[in-house]
């Protein structure tokens, strides 16, 4: 029976994380982790609803909420079956609406809102299928996956036929890799220890705790005073030893020459990658930094602020990134992430998604597990970010075991907030904001 989408509501939810300096880095000094939620209801009468979100860090979340409301009429009145039968075509109609696209196109608040709605539709689809999202994707045929992607503006890098060939080549090993994921999970790294606003003592304590919990990869925020960055890098290396991996994240604050000079000094502490050294739009600048730091054994990582598949295409074509950090809620939802996973595979670049914030870990675990099962078929140089904040507010929170994400088993995309949390952190009327 077809189910018609009858209603989409948008919610402004904000957590006052700035009070503890959780999430503080060189660019974002005091974020209040926030999400604009899209809730999709249908006429089916079985209680299944689609939950989707996009992530922001506070002020401006209301603009994403408004943008969800502006996109909603393009979805209401359609059936889930119609949408999912030609998901790529539907995605183009949503992202390419001839009037709304003017305030993008495919970037900014309108694209963040697109992510919330598209992710809610995939959540609903997975719930109707009775599967977690990663399993819904892993069970789709290569042709079905290709049909979900809008290849507009990327065919010079990846054609539908090439995408299908990648998926077909990996199809025979899917069952084995799915079993491996269920047994061992997907490898993760932690950013929880390295926030810029934390004291040295707190850094040491958090490192020791993380090592005790089995973490092997650690990320340090850099981009403040370089002497401070060097001191904290030395401290982190002392705590984690020579064998564990250290990554560094400058959160966009450097100039090109400055990034190269600073990384030449920080190279003494053997960072595995430097993340977002520059403006996220500076493709040629990243290419220059990458060329300069690769001989030092350092790769360039970026992508959490990469607006769309076309920008990722150019990063890949320009040999400007070594680690592709897709974000589940900045790209226009699952469909566009699929395009980037397949391009990264073609260009031989490992995908190490951005997570953290609120709900991003819950979302992106599905995409990395699918990536391994059906697209990359490799865990080499692949780790998924993990940040230990705010999971307690989710109905179906991530499960981490020995530094790895264990595959979610409940149907859907794991985006639903507990009703009590939704009420308490609604902005500005929730109890957390009135006190």
302 vs 365 by CB, closer to Mg ion: 302
Q: Which listed residue (217, 221, 345, 366) is catalytic? A: 221
Query: Does 249 interact with Mg ion (rule: CB under 5 A)?
Result: yes
Instruction: Work out whether the CA dihedral 212, 218, 222, 227 comes out positive or negative.
Output: positive
Query: Does 282 interact with Mg ion (rule: CB under 5 A)?
Result: no
Cβ count near 231 (within 10 Å): 12
> Least CB distance from residue 191 to Mg ion, whole Å?
8
Q: Which listed residue (11, 127, 131, 354) is catalytic? A: 354
> Least CB distance from residue 221 to Mg ion, whole Å?
8
220 vs 376 by CB, closer to Mg ion: 220
32 vs 249 by CB, closer to Mg ion: 249
Residue 354 appears among annotated catalytic residues: yes
* Stretch in the footprint of Mg ion (CB under 5 A) among 41-49, 96-104, 245-253, 362-370: 245-253
| Three-class HEC string of the chain | CCCEEEEEEEEEEECCHHHHCCCCCCCCCCCCCEEEEEEEEECCCCCCCEEEEEEECCCCHHHHHHHHHHHHHHCCCCEHHHHHHCHHHHHHHHHCCCCHHHHCCCCHHHHHHHHHHHHHHHHHHHHHHCCEHHHHHHHCCHHHHHHCCCCCCCCCCCCHHHHHHHHHHHHHHHHHHHHHHHHHCEEEEECCCCCCCCCHHHHHHHHHHHHHCCCCEEEEECCCCHHHHHHHHHHHHHHHCCCCEEEEECCCCCCHHHHHHHHHHHHHHCEEEEECCCCCCCHHHHHHHHHHHHHHCCEEEECCCCCCHHHHHHHHHCCCCCEECCCCCCCCCHHHHHHHHHHHHHHCCCECCCCCCCCHHHHHHHHHHHHHHHHHCCCCCCCEEECCCCHHHECCCCEEECCEEECCCCCECCCCECHHHHHHCECCCCHHHHC
> Least CB distance from residue 23 to Mg ion, whole Å?
10
Could you tell me how many residues of this chain bind Mg ion (CB under 5 A)? 1
Residue 135 appears among annotated catalytic residues: no
**Closest residue to bound Mg ion by CB:** 249
> Least CB distance from residue 25 to Mg ion, whole Å?
7
131 vs 232 by CB, closer to Mg ion: 232
Binding positions for Mg ion, 285-344, rule CB under 5 A: none
* Stretch in the footprint of Mg ion (CB under 5 A) among 33-41, 241-249, 264-272, 410-418: 241-249
Query: Does 178 interact with Mg ion (rule: CB under 5 A)?
Result: no
56 vs 421 by CB, closer to Mg ion: 56
**By rule CB under 5 A, what string of x and - marks binding of each residue 195-234 to Mg ion?**
----------------------------------------
106 vs 249 by CB, closer to Mg ion: 249
> Least CB distance from residue 275 to Mg ion, whole Å?
5
* Stretch in the footprint of Mg ion (CB under 5 A) among 68-76, 137-145, 244-252, 257-265: 244-252
356 vs 403 by CB, closer to Mg ion: 356
> Least CB distance from residue 384 to Mg ion, whole Å?
13
Catalytic center residues: 221, 354
User: Contact positions toward Mg ion, by CB under 5 A?
Assistant: 249
């Amino acid at each position: 029976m077809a189910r018609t989408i009858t209603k989409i509501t948008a919610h402004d939810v904000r957590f006052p994380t700035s009070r503890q300096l959780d999430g503080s880095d060189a660019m974002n000094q005091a974020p209040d982790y926030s999400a604009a939620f899209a809730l999709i209801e249908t006429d089916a009468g079985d209680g299944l609803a689609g939950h989707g979100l996009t992530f922001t860090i506070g002020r401006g979340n209301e603009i994403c909420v408004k943008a969800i409301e502006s996109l909603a009429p393009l979805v209401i009145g359609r059936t889930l079956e119609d949408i999912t039968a030609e998901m790529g075509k539907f995605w183009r109609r949503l992202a390419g609406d001839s009037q709304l696209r003017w305030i993008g196109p495919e970037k900014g608040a309108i694209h963040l809102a697109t992510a919330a709605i598209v992710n809610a539709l995939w959540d609903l689809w997975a719930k109707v299928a009775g599967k977690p999202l990663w399993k819904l994707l892993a069970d789709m045929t290569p042709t079905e996956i290709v049909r979900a992607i809008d290849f507009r503006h990327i065919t010079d890098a990846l054609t539908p036929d090439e995408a299908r060939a990648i998926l077909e080549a990996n199809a025979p090993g899917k069952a084995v890799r799915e079993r491996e994921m269920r047994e061992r999970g997907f490898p993760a790294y932690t950013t929880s220890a390295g926030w810029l606003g934390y004291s040295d003592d707190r850094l040491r304590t958090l490192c020791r705790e993380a090592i005790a919990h089995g973490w092997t990869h650690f990320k340090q925020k850099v981009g403040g005073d370089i002497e401070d960055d060097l001191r904290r890098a030395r401290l982190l290396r002392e705590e984690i030893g020579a064998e564990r991996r250290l990554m560094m994240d400058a959160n966009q604050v450097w100039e090109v020459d400055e990034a190269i000079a600073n990384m030449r000094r920080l190279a003494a502490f053997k960072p595995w990658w430097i993340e977002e050294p520059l403006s996220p739009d500076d493709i040629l600048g990243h290419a220059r930094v990458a060329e300069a730091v690769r001989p030092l054994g350092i790769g360039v990582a970026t992508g959490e602020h990469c607006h769309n598949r076309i920008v990722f295409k150019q990063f890949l074509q320009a040999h400007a990134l070594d680690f592709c950090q897709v974000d589940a809620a900045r790209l226009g939802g699952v469909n566009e992430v699929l395009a980037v996973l397949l391009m990264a595979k073609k260009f031989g670049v490992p995908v190490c998604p951005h997570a953290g914030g609120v709900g991003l870990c819950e979302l992106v675990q599905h995409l990395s597990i699918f990536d391994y099962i059906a697209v990359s078929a490799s865990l080499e140089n692949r780790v998924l970010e993990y940040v230990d904040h705010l999971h307690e507010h989710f109905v179906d929170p991530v499960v981490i075991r020995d530094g790895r994400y264990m595959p979610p088993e409940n149907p859907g995309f794991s985006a639903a907030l507990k009703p009590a949390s939704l009420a308490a952190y609604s902005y500005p009327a929730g109890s957390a904001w009135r006190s």
